[in-house]
Chains A and B, each alone.
Chain A
Amino acid sequence: MSVFTLPQAAKEEALLKELSALVEHHREHCEPYDRILAASGYEPATSVAGLPWLPVRLFKNLELKSIPDDEVFKVLTSSGTTGEVSKIYLDKAAAATQTKQLGATVQSVLGPKRLPMLLVDTKAMLKDRRSFSARGAGVLGMATFGRDHVWALDGEGHVDVDAIREFLAKHGGEPFLIFGFTYMVWLHLYEVALAQGLDLSNGILIHSGGWKKLIDQAVSPDEFRTRLAGVGLTRTHNFYGMVEQIGTIFLEGPSGGSLYCPDFADVVIRDPETWEELPPGKPGLIEVVSTLPTSYPGHVLLTEDLGVVHGIDDGDWPGKRFSVLGRLPRAEARGCSDTYKEAA
């Protein structure tokens, strides 16, 4: 079972139809959205790249939802470092859909069975169950795909080598799942595995959260993969996603180096000055599109991240394959892994 099946042409045809319908849906149910589109001279799109986008930052400034107040089931907030947070409103249907599609995406690489799971984080982060951080919510969302969960860090945030050893003694001989934020995996799992000679060869790592801290330490995504393979961890999948498009993640393929778009989502790379779509090989701003946002107009979002499409229909899975290169300079520093700064 996979959600990475559609070649680019077939995907764009399906997405254009569904996303155009979503544009109309949100115009009808979200007044500020309708006004923004009217002000910018909206005309129906003839391509995915022609669909009207909102800057992701707008969710920090405006209450954008397409559901009545009494149907709001969950309000998600992003992790902002300047005090500004995005607010994302879900009704029951949107909440159920995002869980289901995230599940389908992750199962594309993990299969249907839940695997024993090592969480490279601390349980202390879930102490206040009324208000998880974005990091807590991310960890918890991913925990669904695991069983017999073990936390690699203790309550103080120190590596619990005994807990990791015990986990490996029990589950290390069969496939197991490792999840954590990229920086924490590097700092708290890779370095410890190397120093302690831990065998992670049956592990499948899923990680996310931005590369900035690692780039600062001169660790590139390639270097990360190579070094982790050195401690036996050859199956690693980075992913890119944001709370403003909850449930949609762009997942690194088995050969590494590229992120892929699930069937219900895509990316468009835009020139940051002209907003024109850029061809493969040219870096620009990443626009993310997804059919999942039905309760708020987050179906076409221009991010503040720079990225580049490497190729189309020429990789592990069909469609576009791309990389995230970092933040647009001067944009607000934001991202799940940055919250580690406060915890550290």
Chain B
Amino acid sequence: MTELQRLRDAFRTALDLPADAPVDDLRYQDNEKWDSLAHMSLIAAIEDEFGVMIDTDDVINMSSFAEAVRILGKYGVTIDG
């Protein structure tokens, strides 16, 4: 599975979305299921999946799928399909 697929799956699992749900355009403030509780699950899922420890500021700033891709880059995880 590619890094991109792994990240998509982490989002789907944490946000309780169907296995084929499109997630690449998701944004925190636009998605009902992505509330603050789901956000904590999402961070935990991403940390587990990629073996990283995300700092507080990055937890706060991870407000979209695209931001997650950018932030993971800072931790040495390159997300490219």
Residues of A within 8 A of B (CB): 73, 92, 95-96, 99-100, 103, 106-107, 110, 112-114, 126, 129, 140-141, 143-145, 147, 149
Q: Is the CB of B56 within 8 A of A103?
A: yes
Of A92, A95, A141, A145, the contact of B56 (CB 8 Å cutoff): A145
Interface of chain B: mostly helix, strand, loop or mixed: helix
Of A96, A107, A129, the contact of B37 (CB 8 Å cutoff): A129
**Please, could you name 25 A-B residue pairs with CB atoms under 8 Å apart, sorted by A?**
A73-B29, A92-B29, A103-B56, A103-B57, A106-B56, A107-B57, A112-B55, A112-B57, A113-B55, A113-B56, A114-B54, A114-B56, A114-B59, A126-B37, A129-B37, A140-B37, A140-B40, A141-B36, A144-B36, A144-B56, A144-B59, A144-B60, A145-B56, A147-B44, A147-B53
Least Cβ distance of A88 to chain B in Å? Answer: 16
Q: Is the CB of B35 within 8 A of A103?
A: no
Give CA–CA (A202, B36) in the complex, Å: 28
Least Cβ distance of B34 to chain A in Å? Answer: 12
Give the nearest-CB partner of B37 in chain A: A129
Known A113-B53, A144-B36; further 8 A-B contacts with Cβ < 8 A: A73-B29, A103-B56, A103-B57, A103-B60, A114-B54, A141-B36, A144-B56, A147-B53
How many chain B residues touch A (CB < 8 A): the figure is 16
Using known A-B contacts A114-B53, A144-B40, determine if residue A95 contacts B59 with beta carbons closer than 8 Å: no
Least Cβ distance of B35 to chain A in Å? Answer: 7
Give CA–CA (A126, B44) in the complex, Å: 18
Residues of B within 8 A of A (CB): 29, 35-37, 39-40, 44, 47, 53-57, 59-60, 63
Give the nearest-CB partner of B60 in chain A: A103
Least Cβ distance of A259 to chain B in Å? Answer: 22
Q: Is the CB of B29 within 8 A of A112?
A: no
Give CA–CA (A144, B38) in the complex, Å: 11
Using known A-B contacts A73-B29, A92-B29, A95-B29, determine if residue A140 contacts B56 with beta carbons closer than 8 Å: no
Q: A-B pairs with the 9 shortest C-beta distances? A: A112-B55, A103-B60, A92-B29, A140-B36, A114-B56, A129-B37, A144-B59, A145-B56, A99-B60
Give CA–CA (A113, B55) in the complex, Å: 5
Least Cβ distance of A176 to chain B in Å? Answer: 14
Contacting residues, chain A, for B54 (C-beta < 8 A) = 114
Give CA–CA (A107, B58) in the complex, Å: 13
Contacting residues, chain A, for B35 (C-beta < 8 A) = 129
Q: Is the CB of B60 within 8 A of A100?
A: yes
Contacting residues, chain A, for B47 (C-beta < 8 A) = 147
Give the nearest-CB partner of A99 in chain B: B60
Give CA–CA (A293, B39) in the complex, Å: 24
Contacting residues, chain A, for B63 (C-beta < 8 A) = 96
Least Cβ distance of B67 to chain A in Å? Answer: 12
Give the nearest-CB partner of B29 in chain A: A92
Q: Is the CB of B60 within 8 A of A110?
A: no
Contacting residues, chain A, for B53 (C-beta < 8 A) = 113-114, 147
Least Cβ distance of B31 to chain A in Å? Answer: 12
Give CA–CA (A140, B56) in the complex, Å: 14
